[in-house]
Amino acid sequence: MTDTYTRLVSKGVGRDVAKKLGLPQPALLRRYQPGQPLVNGPLLVVGSSEGADAIAAALLAWDLDVRRHAVPQEKLGGIVLVLDDLEKPGDLEEPVLRAAPSLRDLAPNGRVVTVSRVPDGGTPAAAAARQGVDGLLRSLAKELRAGATGNGILLAAGVSATAPGALGALRFFLSARSAFVDGQFVRVGSSDGKLPDDVDTPLSGKVAVVTGAARGIGAAIARTLHRDGATVVAVDIPAAGDHLAEVANEVRGTALQLDISRDDAGARIIDHAVGRHGRLDIVVHNAGITRDKLLVNMDHSRWSSVIDVNIAAQLRINDALLASEHFRSSPRIVSVASTSGIAGNRGQTNYAASKGGVMGMVRATAPLLARHGGSINAVAPGFIETEMTARIPFATREIARRLNSLQQGGRPQDVAEAIAFLASDAAGGISGEVLRVCGQNMVGA
């Protein structure tokens, strides 16, 4: 859907008028296109640890222009702030204040990425310093302008700053694939995973199933996975058959008309993928419904249908996947949750319960997939421009668009990019996580 306001105030007279009136001035976001540079300008790596040196060397190996010391007034594509050696809160001051002046030189759509350790374990002083990075990064992300974003990578104990998952997350956060991800952290829990040989087709040779693929976010996911090299099985209900066939033909995949709430849905998905394509590597649980009503007026039908489709169906399908010998080679599951499941939403108690359930399922399922070298994660979209949000009354829609640090709604492509990253082997060390795609919504955690 078109955000006319953002286009009007992004340049020229519209920008000047918005500035004079004190109106929001959302920037046009740089979104991923195959072949584009990873960042627009040099990267400044700040930090004195071995991890900082190793990250700088890895970025140089990607043929990027890397600085270890700022050059005054040089426009920067991004700043990587490596804080993986914090032992006490006082350790934050030197690297953070050393990086601070360079924020003025950050180019439009620039990137700030922190790399630090999880606060679990260690001394109270170390935990305090590491947890402090959370507040620091989320606050900084709200200070950035012109489409720039700030995100963080958390390293578990024993995981190096150049583990595949850490470098994979760093590439994602620096790239235009993360345009609508802001103020977020991903935890790299292990050294599993593998960086792709071809960064433009990281899913080459994989077979991916996408539920709810006939339109909207599901169709965008199918297109993005196909662009990244995967063979796609597009799944949706029979009533959406025509749209489903169009999407499947567009991505040169196959269509499976299926009600995912059927008890045998998991078996049918496996049989189709393996029978038609010889394997199954990735399952994206995108299908979902809403049946909104204030809880005082909620009935059995509205409640049960949302719970059954949005979470119970995923649990049944996952049971079939975990029991199948065909889902054993570094399998990936990515589920679509929602910020409603984090912050709540009026009139959506059933929907929020189902999406909160998705997050709980992801955390509990991660250890079950780890034994096969697999992972499961979720993305939680905020306000995304879809046919559904286009039906929201104008004033309500405009307010919802501006209630994030980027002051605009996201696109289905933004959700799809995050899913494609989490489905890749580069994210193999990331599991049980929920990544918000919300432009750093002003409500919720």
Q: Which residues are catalytic?
A: 351
Query: What is the DSSP code string of 55-94?
Result: HHHHHHHTT--EESS--TT--EEEEEEEETT--SGGGGHH
Question: How far apart (Å, rounded) are the C-alpha atoms in residues 323 and 103?
Answer: 50
- C-alpha distance from residue 9 to each of 2, 23, 75, 390 (Å): 14, 9, 23, 20
Of the candidates 377, 330, 365, the residue with the CA atom closest to the CA atom of residue 206 = 330
Question: How far apart (Å, rounded) are the C-alpha atoms in residues 209 and 393?
Answer: 34
* Neighbouring-strand partners of residue 441: 404
Question: How far apart (Å, rounded) are the C-alpha atoms in residues 440 and 199?
Answer: 27
CB 316 within 8 A of CB 262: no
Only one residue has tokens 């809880």, namely 295
**Contacts of range 128-132, beta carbons closer than 8 Å, 24 or more positions apart:** 128/88, 128/89, 129/86, 129/87, 129/88, 129/89, 129/90, 129/91, 129/92, 130/86, 132/89, 132/92
CB 107 within 8 A of CB 75: yes
CB 172 within 8 A of CB 178: yes
Residues 6+ apart with CB under 8 A from 64: 38, 39, 42, 43
- In this structure, the number of other CB atoms found within 10 A of the CB of residue 249 comes to 12
Question: How far apart (Å, rounded) are the C-alpha atoms in residues 17 and 398?
Answer: 18
What is residue 267's three-state secondary structure? helix
According to DSSP, the β-strands at 207-211 and 282-285 are parallel
Only one residue has tokens 């119970």, namely 312
Only one residue has tokens 């024993």, namely 158
Of the candidates 99, 87, 89, 112, the residue with the CA atom closest to the CA atom of residue 46 = 99
Torsion of CA 108, 390, 19, 175, to 10 degrees: -10
